[in-house]
Amino acid sequence: MKQDAAVASGLSSGLRTTSFAPENDDARTANWLEAVNLGFHEQRGDPKHLPAEVDACQRDGRILTAVYDDTAPDSALDPAVPVATYATMVNSLNVGGGRLLPAHLVTAVTVRPTHRRRGILRSMITSDLQRAKEAGLALAGLTASEATIYGRFGFGAATSTAEIRLDTRGGLGFTSGTTGSMAVADSAKLRFLAPDIYRAHLERTNGAVGRQHRYWMRASAAWSEESFEPDKALRGVLHYNAKGVPDGYAAYKSLGWRTEPHTVKVTDLVAASDDAYRELWRYLGSMDLVDRLTFDAAPVADPLPWMLADRRRYQVTSVDDVLWLRILDTRAALEARHYTGAGSVVLTVRDPLGMADGVWQLDVEGGSGSARPVEAGAVQDGTVHEGTMHEGTVAAEIDVAALGSLYLGGVSAPTLAAAGGIRGSQAALEVLDALFTAGPAPYCSTHF
């Protein structure tokens, strides 16, 4: 599919923008990928890997946006290589209670150093978010290279993961007995099992997002984390449940005998059941000749230390944000989510980009919410006027980025209020907390 669209709004003269679906044997796609390598300080691409890269983009359903500067001087990089890149795709986000919502995912954002801070990103992202909203998507998401970039565009950090370190000398002891069985994986076969296992994990995990093709290629060692070459050091392991169905996998590799203490890095671990999660760690923690395990994408609310005979073997070395969310359609987003508690709140959403702002009464019962627009003037100075149909309902005002952070329950309403992103009475904060943060903590182990 070819999807050209001139979206030159807000760009300075001399620049032009095109959006397109990637195609094989397409110099435009090759140049776009080259610009991404330049923007992220990666090595130049190898032409022999281009078909596989394009195939991955196509499987992900990526739409690529390029900004060109035709006025490049002699000896400058070919003007066919874009000065800015931006890509989008749609994938599922688990918004609690097993509900999957299509989310507009933004990735591969680069602006060449010679063209930075002239508003190119602002132009690309504001027009793109508007189009995504018009296309009916309630939420946009991204994983950010720097935490300082996307708040101004209404994104809030919604999930985090922990980088952990485990002391496995002599083997880890567990407090419960084993379930199911384990097998070292045939990596080539893991490539085809991993998507189904991940799908089952996605369906049960609040905050998980559908994965890109590269994840299966990496879990199966077909691609390394750094390149499109095989990773010869990577091993895989599978957990089978009592019925013999694979319901979890991990990928791991030794960092080499010269590392002191000898360390195995877990590069991916996906469990579609609590049993699988326990057994994968039991396997990893019982390997001989290994002194330390590391994993940089553990849940913040990790059950792992609670299953260990010696919880001090487990250490969190850092916590980093993963998924950033941007509400595009407030009513649709509020009604899509699963809720744990029950209650009502009048919510005034402030959005500097004018996409999500307005006033809604959110009523929650039986796990579902309905968001009715509130008539103009019914809320003033943060309180509901007497004599309106909303009288007696607590009210709060929230910035759109704070709503993105609150949406999956990754941070409490009082914490966001203390930070200034929510303004409301104590009673309103309590209702927001009961509705948004009482369920399981969100966990997204996918970067895109």
Interface residues with ligand ACO (CB under 6 A)?
39-40, 106-111, 116-122, 142, 144-146, 148-149, 152
Q: Is the CB of 67 or the CB of 396 nearer to ligand ACO? A: 67
CA distance 82 to 65: 9
- 119 carries a ligand binding annotation: yes
- 11 carries a ligand binding annotation: no
Whether 150 sits among the annotated catalytic residues: the reply is: yes
Nearest distance in Å: CB 103, ligand ACO: 13
Q: Is the CB of 132 or the CB of 364 nearer to ligand ACO? A: 132
**Which member of 20, 155, 339, 448 is catalytic?**
448
Q: Is the CB of 75 or the CB of 148 nearer to ligand ACO? A: 148
In total, the chain counts a number of residues equal to 448
CA distance 437 to 406: 8
CA distance 337 to 372: 15
Buried b (16+ CB within 10 A) or exposed e, 123-151: bbbbbbbbebbeeebbbbbbbbeeeeebb
Q: Is the CB of 111 or the CB of 362 nearer to ligand ACO? A: 111
Whether 249 sits among the annotated catalytic residues: the reply is: no
Q: Which of 61, 138, 85, 160 is nearest to 326 (CA)?
A: 138
Nearest distance in Å: CB 143, ligand ACO: 6
Place of tokens 């029950």: 342
**Is the backbone peptide bond immediately before 246 cis, with ω within 30 degrees of 0?**
no
Lookup: tokens for 33: 């990928």
Q: Where are the alpha helices (DSSP H) in 205-336?
A: 214-219, 274-285, 304-307, 330-336
- 264 carries a ligand binding annotation: no
Q: How far is CA 79 from the centre of its chain?
A: 33
Nearest distance in Å: CB 408, ligand ACO: 18
Q: Is the CB of 87 or the CB of 271 nearer to ligand ACO? A: 87
Nearest distance in Å: CB 9, ligand ACO: 13
**Which member of 150, 249, 295, 443 is catalytic?**
150
- Beta carbons within 8 Å of 345's beta carbon, 6+ residues apart: 361, 362, 393, 394, 395, 396, 428, 431, 432, 435
Nearest distance in Å: CB 129, ligand ACO: 12
Give residue 10's region: left, alpha or beta (phi > 0; psi -120 to 50).
left
- 317 carries a ligand binding annotation: no
- 368 carries a ligand binding annotation: no
Nearest distance in Å: CB 106, ligand ACO: 5
- 388 carries a ligand binding annotation: no
Contact 215, 167 (CB under 8 A): no
The DSSP secondary-structure symbol of 157 reads: E
- 398 carries a ligand binding annotation: no
Q: Is the CB of 109 or the CB of 293 nearer to ligand ACO? A: 109
- 111 carries a ligand binding annotation: yes
Q: Is 114 helix (H, G, I), strand (E, B) or coil?
A: helix
Tally of CB atoms within 10 A around 322: 24
Residues belonging to the active site: 150, 448
Show binding-site residues: 109-111, 117-122, 145-146
Show binding-site residues for acetyl-CoA: 109-111, 117-122, 145-146
